[in-house]
Amino acid sequence: MTVATKPRKEQIEHVATDLFKSKGYAATSMRDIAAAVGIEAASIYSHINSKEQILTGICFRMARAFMTGIEEVMQTNTSIDEKFKMAVMRHVDVITSDIAASAVFWNEWRHLSEPMHSEFVTLQRKYELSFRSLIEQGVEEGVFEVSNISFVVMAMLSSLNGIQKWHSYTLPPEELNEAFANIFLKGLKK
Amino acid sequence: MTVATKPRKEQIEHVATDLFKSKGYAATSMRDIAAAVGIEAASIYSHINSKEQILTGICFRMARAFMTGIEEVMQTNTSIDEKFKMAVMRHVDVITSDIAASAVFWNEWRHLSEPMHSEFVTLQRKYELSFRSLIEQGVEEGVFEVSNISFVVMAMLSSLNGIQKWHSYTLPPEELNEAFANIFLKGLKK
DNA sequence: TTTATTTGCTAACAAACGTTAGGTTGCTTA
DNA sequence: TAAGCAACCTAACGTTTGTTAGCAAATAAA
């Protein structure tokens, strides 16, 4: 190992994440990953237990990041539209901090097998519900006006998570943050 | 063939579309498709030439539908915000008219091989440019106010195309149409 | 009735898949 | 110096993949 090289395990996970993003999980072989790292496929198993373990790692690490973000926001003591704005910004932060992992998190989780699959879906639901309750609170306080909350939550999350598909050709993270937070706030305001 | 059954070729394509949506193209085998139709894998080849041909068919049929929609809108002679609203509604129409095919169109096109892959990307670009020029026109006329057009186009299309992920638990198409058209118009208006 | 055509079958193919076994090398610690 | 361990290798495994060949039955056209 030469100067300041990442541990092999991390390197494998990193390379795998990129490949899962660009080719998809099912279409990425262990031999693809190995070639990108510069070793043989069988050698990967000195560092990880299975292909799916890599996917599981990525999906749940990102899920945790998203959940932590919104939980922290919900515990703060500020106005509802400030809270909402913060939640959006935190979501954007998590995505831009690791675009490839976000893409995998968003597009490849269906390849998780049980019981991970169910567990993941539960986490995802929980996250959506948090967003939903934020908007509901805004509506109760008379700050937001929304005809169909489910619709708004889903449209918003789709829009946010779409970042990973086109992020290459746009704004720096801080501007992205502001742009999203403002667009949605404007759309919700009474 | 009993009363009013679909031709086998269409049936295969229909079943394949559903499977491509739920499992992904790469993770769907010809044997999966065959089993869902109720025949043997080899029998599929009496009706289609290859697995990829099915994907190609779906992707380009949907691409054509989207392009036709926006081209017709752009040729009409109405105000810019009416045009924009129509474009959004047509897009939603195309998606809701075949959710499974839309999901495949949006998520699985990367598995097309050359030269189809390049051709598809070109079409996609063209579609985005049409939306972009609609917004640009609105800005020039002083009807819309937008800080970063690329951002808005991408955020909007991501949001629209996200429909296929959550469509099960919401609005009927007509309401969906209106909801989207209004949300975006509200967000763009000066 | 004969002839084509369509639609399906079984059997098999070569290639690619995730993964395991078992061995070699070289560094680290006792 | 010896022992232990981490990181890599080659070879191979059993399975699954998309697809082809060749044949049988049913249906439609002559």
pLDDT per residue as tens digits for the range B23-36: 999 999 999 999 99
As a rounded value in angstroms, the CA-to-C1' distance for B1 and D28 is 14
Rg (CA), chain A: 19
**For chain A, where do the domains classified as CATH 1.10.10.60 start and end?**
8-46
Q: Are B123 and B63 within 8 A, CB to CB?
A: yes
- Show residues of chain B in contact with A175, CB under 8 Å: 148
Nearest to A167, CA basis, from B188, B161, B150, B126: B150
Specify the higher pLDDT residue, B187 or A1. Answer: B187
Band (pLDDT 50/70/90 cuts) for residue A172 is confident
Residue B170's pLDDT is 66
Residue B180's pLDDT is 79
Residue B12's pLDDT is 96
Q: What percent of chain B has pLDDT over 70?
A: 94
What's the start-to-end Cα distance of chain B, in Å? Answer: 59
Residue A96, CB, strand C, below 7 Å? no
What's the start-to-end Cα distance of chain A, in Å? Answer: 59
For A131, A183, B27, B82, B134, the CA distances from B146, given in Å and listed in that order, are 26, 10, 41, 17, 12
- What mean pLDDT comes out for the span A108-131? 96
Residue A166's pLDDT is 81
- Show residues of chain B in contact with A23, CB under 8 Å: 110
What are residue B189's DSSP bridge partners? Answer: B144
Q: What percent of chain A has pLDDT over 70?
A: 94
| Arithmetic mean of pLDDT over chain A | 90
Q: Tell me whether the omega of the peptide bond preceding residue B173 falls within 30 degrees of 0, making it cis.
A: no
Q: Which bases of strand C sit closer than 7 A to a protein CB?
A: 6-12, 16-22
Looking at CATH, the fold of the domain delimited by B8-46 is given as Arc Repressor Mutant, subunit A (1.10.10)
Band (pLDDT 50/70/90 cuts) for residue A169 is low
- What mean pLDDT comes out for the span A116-139? 94
Residue A83's pLDDT is 92
- Contact status of B83 with chain A (Cβ, < 8 Å): no
CB contact under 8 A, A148 and B171: yes
DSSP structural state of residue A110: G
pLDDT tens column, B71-121: 999 999 999 988 988 998 899 999 999 999 999 999 999 999 999 999 999
pLDDT tens column, B12-63: 999 999 999 999 999 999 999 999 999 999 999 999 999 999 999 999 999 9
- What mean pLDDT comes out for the span A175-184? 78
Chain A: closest CA distance from residue B148 (Å)? 8
**For chain A, where do the domains classified as CATH 1.10.357.10 start and end?**
51-188
Residue A149's pLDDT is 86
> Token pair for residue B71?
């081209």
- Show residues of chain A in contact with B158, CB under 8 Å: 158-159, 161-163, 165-166
For A125, B58, B147, the CA distances from A84, given in Å and listed in that order, are 18, 39, 21
CATH architecture of B51-188: Orthogonal Bundle (1.10)
Q: Are A143 and A89 within 8 A, CB to CB?
A: no
Band (pLDDT 50/70/90 cuts) for residue A178 is confident
